[in-house]
Amino acid sequence: MSSQAIAGAKPKSGGLDRQVQAKIGQQLRAMYDEVVDQGVPDRFAELLKKLDSAQGAPKTEEEPR
């Protein structure tokens, strides 16, 4: 586990306080969901359309760019 013992902040060996864990989880999800809520950028909608119509054509190179 982490060696730096910030006074009072070091979790007990038994694991984190349930409430603290919940808060970390909430912030993590909030950060994540903010991106999810942005939906599909045009760039990807167009890419998928292009890839779909290119299906059947010779495969694109292994490593894109």
Question: Closest approach of Cβ 18 to another protein, in Å?
Answer: 9
Residue 58, interface with another protein (CB under 8 A)? no
Q: Is 44 in the site for another protein (CB under 8 A)?
A: yes
The answer to whether residues 51 and 44 touch, using CB atoms and an 8 Å cutoff, is: no
Helix (H) or strand (E) holding 53: helix 42-54
Phi, psi (5° rounding) for residue 59? -60, 145
Rounded Cα gap, residues 16 and 33, in angstroms: 24
Under the binding rule (CB under 8 A), the answer on residue 27 touching another protein is yes
46 near another protein, rule: CB under 8 A: no
Residues interacting with another protein, by CB under 8 A? 1-2, 4, 6, 8-11, 15-17, 19-41, 43-45, 47-48, 51-53, 55-56, 59-60, 64
